Amino acid sequence: MRRPERTTTMKTALLALAALLAAAAPALGQAETSLEKCQKETNKRTAKHEATLVKTFAKCFQKVSKELIKDNEADVSGAAKACASQLRKILNSETPTKTLEAKTVGKIEKRCEPALNPHTANQVLSTTPVGVAQGIEAQNLDAWCIHFGGDGNLDDVDEWIDCQMRAAECDARLEVGTQFPRLLEWLPLLQTEILALGTEQKFLDAAQVLADLENALDGNDDLAMDLSCGPGITDCGNGVVDVDEQCDGANLDGESCASLGFANGGDLECLGNCAFDLTSCFSGTFPKTGQTASYKAEDDGDLEIGPPFAYTDNGDGTITDSNTGFMWEKRGDDGGMHDIDLTFSWTDAFNVHIQRMNFTCDDFESMPGFAGNLALMQACTTDADCGGIGNGLCGHAGYQDWRVPNRHELQSLVNIGTFTPAISAEFNDNCVLGCNVKDCSCTVDPPHWTSTTNAGGTSQAWVVIFEHGITEPQGKTITRHVRAVRGP
């Protein structure tokens, strides 16, 4: 016979287990009857995020105001370091999880992200949610979210959260703009001083935050503050290309795939948010390899498949490839920022060379007394910062969207019909000591970085070795050459 006390103990354990399972049922997939907690959390967190953004910007701009207005200083160098520290809270490329936005989104997701909660995406988004008494029906905001970068179709919870975050950012910018009416005058000054602090990522991030703010507050570059955003900034759908619209319906504002730099054209269309749809534009095709000798019927030299190389020297230190639409940096041998002998680690290819390409006054090497002195480089964010320096343009040849090419892009320059270097003459012509990129074009044989990481060992990135045009992965800490590209 079973002992009574043991039976009681087992019954108690079973009852306790049943209670535990019942309590855990929502976490195991049972739907919530209401998503009110999610919605309340979202409203609370986005409001707090907006207020924190305003406070963060204000701490910086109050220091700028004190220097320029109260102390009547000529620059804002005293505020630069403190501002960089404040703005680090908004953009932190090295540790993105530490930003204000990341922390806010994390707290919202704890209540709203379906993967973390007992509800489905449909119960958050659908206008007729099934399984909950009070769904959020977020898809009713489809059209409204277009004004904050949406595509007109809220099809996942992250898009809904992102829409609300962008709206909070918008309101924060407007409040900061009204607090500091001279902000458009201050922003370029502050960007210059922060970039002068060095090339550490925290300073580059801070300058980017200021550039984004300037663009948002003066999107049409008329030097007047645009104190509006969200619904009302444009009338998307009226067939007229308003301020901050790229297109509207059938009205493409005279643009085409070709005019936007897509060498092979295509069909340019307009999205529902009045932005260009480039998916049917064609960037072009890679040219033939350059091999003309044939060693077997139907080999590469026999067929010569593809268009011929087609390069144009633009006379400003750049070369355009009309096959692919890419614009390439020329290299010289004058000791400047485009010097043939400069090498960088993979990280510095981005953080040093590309930053110089985008935020240095162009052609400073032509200034009297240059003689290979890189200390004469002048940081900039707009052309206004470059008066009397070089050709007065900010960014190489006046562009600020230079980048490290990926593996396929850099390989498109390889001309197998020659070697040491395996590249067309436009990239290796009249290269003599002291020549400037406007007068010569240089390429060396050793490896050049691409932006492509080796999947088989992420401490390595792919390089192109122009001696014979081969590629291989190499350690990212090694210093290698860089040739920047932009477009199409």
pTM above 0.85, yes or no: no
Question: Residue 262: which pLDDT band, with cuts at 50, 70 and 90?
Answer: low
Statement: residue 46 has pLDDT above 80? yes
CB neighbour list of residue 474: distance below 8 Å, 6 or more residues apart: 447, 460, 461, 462, 463, 480
Task: Over range 124-151, report the average pLDDT.
Answer: 84
Residue 130 has pLDDT above 70, yes or no: yes
| pLDDT in the model for residue 488 | 67
Query: What is the residue-averaged pLDDT of the chain?
Result: 85
Alpha-carbon gap, residue 217 to 170, rounded angstroms: 10
Token output for 457: 């060992």
Neighbours of 80 (CB within 10 A): 26
Q: How far apart are CA 186 and CA 69, in angstroms?
A: 11
DSSP 239-272: SS--TT-S-BTTB-TT--TTTTT-TT-B--EE-T
Query: What pLDDT, on the 0 to 100 scale, is given for residue 52?
Result: 95
Query: pLDDT value at position 435?
Result: 92
Of residues 367 and 408, more confidently modeled: 408
Write down the domain spans for the chain. Answer: 36-217, 236-282, 300-486
CA pair distance 234, 249, nearest whole angstrom:
13
Confidence of residue 235 (pLDDT cuts 50, 70, 90): low
Is residue 352 within 8 A of residue 390, CB to CB? The reply is no
pLDDT of residue 299: 80
Please give the pLDDT value at position 131. 82
The dihedral region occupied by 62, where left means phi > 0, alpha psi between -120 and 50, and beta the remainder, is alpha
Query: pLDDT band for position 20 (50/70/90)?
Result: very low
Is the per-residue pLDDT at 30 higher than 70? Answer: no
- Tell me the residue ranges of DSSP E strands in 71-138: none
